[in-house]
Amino acid sequence: MASFGIKVIRTALKAVSAVSPEAAGRLAFRIFCLTPGRKPKSGKEAALLKAAAPIMRHSRKVTLSFAGGWVVAHHFARRVDADGPRILLAHGWGSRSDYLATLIDGLLAAGAEVVALDWPGHGASPGRSLTMPQAVRAIDAAWRHFDGFDVAIGHSFGGASLACAAGAVVCDVPARVPGKMVLIGAPSEMTWLFNGFGKMMALAPAAQAAFEGMVERLSGRRVDAFDAARILGMLRKPVLVVHAEDDKEVSATHARRYGAAGPNVELYWANGFGHRRIVSADPVIDRIKAFLNEIKKGAHLRRIA
C-alpha cells in the first residue's frame, strides 16, 4: 500500500499531467533526483559514523569542480613503503564515504591509495539532488585531478555510475576506464529504476516519456544507454561483481545480468550480508584485497618482462 506522501505526490502529478504531460515529467524527474537527508536515521548509523571518524581523519579533503557543480573527495595516501594501486571508491545512494571506512581501511592495509568520492547531495558535498550524468561528471573531475585510477570500486549507485563513466554515456565526457573494476550490490541498468518510479507515481505514458526524456537532455543519451552490464561486457576489462542473493534493494538478477555480459566478469556471492552490510563484511574485503594482489602480481610480471 502506498504511503500518504506518495498518494499526495501522485495526485499532484496527475493534476499537472492533465494540463501538461511535459511539465509533469519534469516535476517527476525533480522528485526522483532528490537526495535523502544526511543526518543518521538510527542509532546504528550514528555509531557507524563515530567509528569511521578515526579512519576518515587520515584523509585530505579535495574539492573537485565539474560543469554544474562541485564535490568533495577524500584522499588517502598510500602507507609508508606501500606500492598498491590507486583506487577510486564510490558510495551508494543515500550513503557517504564514511560508511565505507572499514573497506577503506582494508584497502589501505593492502597498500592502496584511495580516493573516496562524496556524491552531490551526500556527505561533505553540497546540494540536495543527484543525477547519473552528475555522477559521471564527478568521476571525470576526479580522474583529471588525480591523473587516472588503476581500479574503480563502487557500491550500489556508485558501481553503476563507474560503469557508465567507463562507457562514455554522457556525450561530452570521455570514457574513464580503469584497469579493473569491482561492483558491489550494483544495479546493471537504469531503465528498471525509471520504470519502477513511473509505476509508483502512476505516470501517464506521455508524462513517463517526458520523465525519461530529462536524461537525454542532461546527457545526450537515452535512458536505455545507461546499461552498465552491456558497457562492461563490451569493454572486456576484468570486473569483480559482489552481490548478496538476499539483497532487498538491488535484486540479485542484476548480478546475474552482469555475469552473463561476458567472460571478463566474475561473480562473487556474499550471501547473508544484504545490501548495506556487504561493504564492511570481512569475506568481501578479503576477496577484494585478493583482487588487488592479482593486479600487483600482474604489474610485477610486466616489469620483469
Question: Is the residue at 199 inside a domain?
Answer: no
Domain that holds residue 128: 43-190+226-304
Question: Is the residue at 4 inside a domain?
Answer: no
**218: three-class secondary structure by DSSP:** helix
Q: Calculate the alpha carbon distances from 194 to 47, 88, 163 in Å.
A: 33, 27, 18
Question: Is the residue at 23 inside a domain?
Answer: no
Question: Is the residue at 212 inside a domain?
Answer: no
**Could you tell me the end-to-end alpha-carbon distance of the chain, in angstroms, rounded to an integer?**
63
The rounded distance, in Å, linking the Cα atoms of 9 and 6 is: 5
Question: Is the residue at 34 inside a domain?
Answer: no
pLDDT at res. 292? 86
C-alpha cell at 237: 576489462
| Ramachandran angles phi, psi of 116, nearest 5° | -105, 120
Q: pLDDT (tens digit, 0 to 9) for every residue of the chain, 305 residues total?
A: 568 889 999 999 999 999 999 999 999 999 999 999 999 999 999 999 999 999 999 999 999 999 989 999 999 999 999 999 999 999 999 999 999 999 999 999 999 999 999 999 999 999 999 999 999 999 999 999 999 999 999 999 999 999 999 999 999 999 999 999 999 999 999 999 999 999 999 999 999 999 999 999 999 999 999 999 999 999 989 999 999 999 999 999 999 999 999 999 999 999 999 999 999 999 999 999 998 887 555 444 333 33
| Ramachandran angles phi, psi of 65, nearest 5° | -105, 150
Q: What is the CATH number of the domain that holds 57?
A: 3.40.50.1820
Tell me how many domains the chain contains: 1
Question: Is the residue at 64 inside a domain?
Answer: yes
Per DSSP, which regions of the chain are E strands? 60-66, 69-76, 86-90, 113-118, 151-155, 180-184, 239-243, 265-269
pLDDT at res. 5? 87
Question: Is the residue at 240 inside a domain?
Answer: yes
Query: Which residue's entry shows cell 573527495?
Result: 73
pLDDT at res. 295? 55
Question: Is the residue at 53 inside a domain?
Answer: yes
pLDDT at res. 296? 56
The pTM (predicted TM-score) of the whole model is 0.94
